[in-house]
Homo-oligomer: A and B are copies of this chain.
Amino acid sequence: MASTQIPQTVKQWNVVAFDGFDGLKFSEQPLPEIGDSQVLVYCQYRDLAIARGRYPNGVTQNVVPGSDGAGTVVAVGKQVTLFKPGDKVLTLFNQGHLGGNLTSQTIATGTGSTLDGVLRSHGAFNENALVRSPFNLTAAEASTLPCAGLTAWNALFGSVDHAVKAGHWVLVQGTGGVSIFALQFAKAAGARVIATTSSPDKVLALKKLGADHVLNYKDDPSWGVTARKLTGGRGVDHVVQVAGAKEMVQSIAAVKMCGAIDIIGFLADRRSESEPGFMSCVTNLFTARGILVGSRVQMEEMIEAVEAHPEALRPVVDQRVFKLEQLREAYEYQWSGQHFSKVVIEID
């Protein structure tokens, strides 16, 4: 095992009971052993993903939470070929989602849910569960890529049929992390972007990030119809749908014939009569595609794009940064809705 700067102990959070934050415990533990295929990572920053009551695929008892982060390799097992001590790395959201599609087997390899996550100072990871970090980002910036960044990348480029190309129109919704990344990636790929927000204050920030048009969805409840008009009537090629089910009416109004609506988000709304049903796929001729983060192959593609566009694709991080011990404060800040784009935690 090659190594540098190896500590004796690790500070970490564990899920000791399924009881929200009160079930999380912070402690100091012995350093984990490093298997032949494993890499010991000094976890530096993590992205604060949307706090969820329940992860979609269950949580292992006593697991270290934290689904995604950025760190530095401090030691490698003897069969490891992909990394060496000193390499900057990011974790993979689903450690078994290496390429191709998610399966019922690989969806059960979640970092911080099934497998130990990143809310600890050091962790041993299968080398395939890590991807090199963009050389031109800080760890804080890079820590936002494994979940929000990769979800947006998968939405825009993960389908061969609907991959965003120069000249396409893309519609993004709101100012959450996925939407901001989708805006940035779409612009980098030469697309035209229509963004929505309910806050006049955020219009300028969205335009600065490259939005060609910004619609206020509170002032204009038919924003989907308006978006279509902005395209000259043809409709947008791609909708990144993070809003709830009832907003699908506007997404469908906006999407072009044979375009795509990517549907993101765990919180299924209650069904209502006014919500469109699947027959609209054929009456309006579009494709609806459910998305859950993305694969290792996609993450490597995304990282090359980020490296090529250090300014345009610099992740947008909220001004407030929290310490590992301040996990509760960090979530409370995010829940308050005061943030813009991603909130991160400095682990060490």
- Chain A residues in the interface with B (C-beta under 8 A): 32-38, 56, 77, 79, 81-82, 95-96, 98-109, 114-116, 124-129, 157, 159-161, 163, 165-168, 185, 188-192, 233-234, 244-245, 248, 256-258, 261, 263-266, 268-269, 271, 273, 275-292, 295-297, 300-309
Contacts and interface: CB of A to CB of B under 8 A. Distances in A.
Contacts of A100: 99, 297, 300-301
A245 B35 contact: no
Residue among A167, A248, A269 with the most chain B CB within 10 A?
A167
Contacts of A82: 96, 105-106, 109
A296 B258 contact: no
A53 to B, nearest CB: 14
Contacts of A168: 304, 308
A103 to B, nearest CB: 6
B308 A245 contact: no
B297 A290 contact: no
A282 B290 contact: yes
B287 A257 contact: no
A72 B52 CA distance: 39
A307 B77 contact: no
A278 B279 contact: no
A79 B116 CA distance: 9
B124 A126 contact: no
A245 B38 contact: no
A201 B106 CA distance: 42
Nearest to A127: B126
A35 B77 contact: yes
22 contacts: A33-B35, A36-B124, A79-B115, A82-B105, A98-B128, A99-B99, A103-B258, A126-B126, A159-B287, A167-B302, A167-B304, A167-B307, A190-B305, A245-B279, A263-B278, A266-B282, A271-B276, A271-B277, A281-B288, A281-B290, A285-B292, A286-B290
